[in-house]
Structure formats: structure tokens, C-alpha cells
Chains A and B, each alone.
Chain A
Amino acid sequence: DQQVKQNSPSLSVQEGRISILNCDYTNSMFDYFLWYKKYPAEGPTFLISISSIKDKNEDGRFTVFLNKSAKHLSLHIVPSQPGDSAVYFCAASGEETSGSRLTFGEGTQLTVNP
């Protein structure tokens, strides 16, 4: 069963607008969440993370929101740029020290149109 789900396989937005990528999880033991970005023919790169003691973490144009009661997190990119076009993976872990047990979602392909 898929414990971390990204229900939108793709998302298309205009340059300058907000991109919102969503992720849902089922395991209530997850308490640490990450987003990775992957360009074609390259490996994923770590983007931003959030611990369950927070509901928001911001890094420049990227903000991750966590709604624990809904078991939902989202990544907001504002403003979106064409260089943001990539596949975005969310991932979750039960403990901050258990990187070995990261569970990844299926990924969402973001396309930012000029």
C-alpha cells in the first residue's frame, strides 16, 4: 500500500504564478517530511523539509505547509519560474534519525510555462 501519495501526476502553471504541489500520507507515525526535486537525467536534490512540530517552513520562494490532522502537506512555489520545471517528490519518515526509512511519493511533474 502506498503510505505517501501524490495524487497529481502532473501540474502546469504560468510563470510568475503560484505552484502548489500536494502530498497525502496515511501513517500517523510519520513526523518528518521532505521535498526533493528531480530534473530529467539527473538525480533528485533535496529541497526543503518540515518537522511535525511545525506547520510551516519557508526557504526563499519555497514554503512547505503541514496539516497533521488532515495528514496532508503541500509545497508552494511563489513566484514560479521556468527553471522550476521538474518532478517533485515528497517523502516522509517516522523519526528524524531514520533516514533509512524514508517513504517517497510517486512524484508530480511540474511544468512552468513562460
Chain B
Amino acid sequence: DVKVTQSSRYLVKRTGEKVFLECVQDMDHENMFWYRQDPGLGLRLIYFSYDVKMKEKGDIPEGYSVSREKKERFSLILESASTNQTSMYLCASSPAGAWKPQHFGDGTRLSIL
């Protein structure tokens, strides 16, 4: 059974902290994505990666960075967390050539206090 696993379901952090959200997929997919989901706004792409060490900015990359050191792992980093980054974060993956995000993780609900 294919799986995208996000390390935390719920996370509470403080303003100014550096926050790491981890995502691991076991399908050997080349493409990985980070989205955030907010009420009334749908899903918005933060960053995506199409290969190890490769990354591209999505629609709302400000305040975030990513790391893809291994094919199966894609990390989202909040350099200095702010309250407006309180959100549901969703990781997704897809194989090369199947460009749309196919498999999503269950999400991490992040609260910044």
C-alpha cells in the first residue's frame, strides 16, 4: 500500500522558532510537493521538488524553505515561525511524468503561538 507519511499530525510552536515538517514517501517517486490548506483558500503550493536536491518555488514560498537530500524525504522549514503560518500542511508525491500530486499525506496541523 503506497504511503506518504508526515511525521506529526499536530504541532504547536512559538513565534520565532525554527520549525521542521518532515515528509517521507515509500513509492520511489521523483516529485514531491508541500501545500498549505486554509479555510476559504483551498490548497496553495509552497514548494515542490522534482529530484534530489532540486526545488522550485510554488505560489507562496515566502517564509519557507525546503530540503530534499534523499529521494524519499522532503522537509519543509519555517525559518522563523509567525502566527500567520498557522495552518494545515500537506505533503504529496507523484512519479516522474505523472506531474499532478497523486498521493497526499494525512497533513500536519501546525499552530504558531
Chain A positions within 8 Å of B, measured between CB atoms, are: 2, 4, 6, 34, 41-46, 49, 89, 91, 93, 96-107
Contacts and interface: CB of A to CB of B under 8 A. Distances in A.
A44 B42 contact: no
Nearest to A93: B100
B100 A46 contact: yes
Contact of B41 (A97, A99, A106): A106
Contacts of A2: 41
Nearest to B48: A100
B104 interface: yes
B106 interface: yes
Contacts of B106: 41-43
Nearest to B9: A41
Contacts of A100: 33, 45, 48, 56, 58, 99
Interface in B62-112: 90-92, 94, 99-107
B87 to A, nearest CB: 14
Interface residues of B, number: 28
Contacts of B24: none
Interface of B: 4, 9, 31, 33, 39-45, 48, 56, 58-59, 90-92, 94, 99-107
Contacts of B102: 46
A99 B103 CA distance: 13
A107 B37 CA distance: 10
Nearest to A49: B100
Contacts of A34: 100
A43 B48 contact: no
Contacts of B40: 106
8 contacts: A43-B4, A43-B91, A44-B43, A45-B103, A89-B43, A97-B99, A99-B31, A99-B99
B12 to A, nearest CB: 18
Contacts of B4: 43
Contacts of B103: 43, 45
